[in-house]
Amino acid sequence: MSIATLGKNFAVTLQALVLLLGFGAFSLAAAGPALADQSACDTNTLTIDSGAACSQGTSAKDNLFGQGGIFQTIANTLIFLVGAIAVLFLIIGGLRYVVSNGDPKAVEGAKNTILYAIVGIVIAILSFAAIQFVINALKNSQ
Q: Is residue 124 part of a domain?
A: yes
Q: Is residue 53 part of a domain?
A: no
Which domain, by its residues, includes 111?
Answer: 61-141
Q: Is residue 3 part of a domain?
A: no
The pLDDT assigned to 9 comes to 64
The pLDDT assigned to 97 comes to 93
Instruction: For residue 69, give Cα distances in angstroms to 25, 39, 72, 75, 132.
Output: 18, 28, 5, 10, 12
Q: Is residue 131 part of a domain?
A: yes
pLDDT tens profile 34-68 = 544 555 677 777 776 666 667 666 666 566 666 67
The pLDDT assigned to 31 comes to 45
Residue bearing the bigger pLDDT, 47 or 18: 47
**pTM to 2 decimals?**
0.53
- Span of 3-17, 45-59, 78-92, 105-119 with lowest mean pLDDT: 3-17
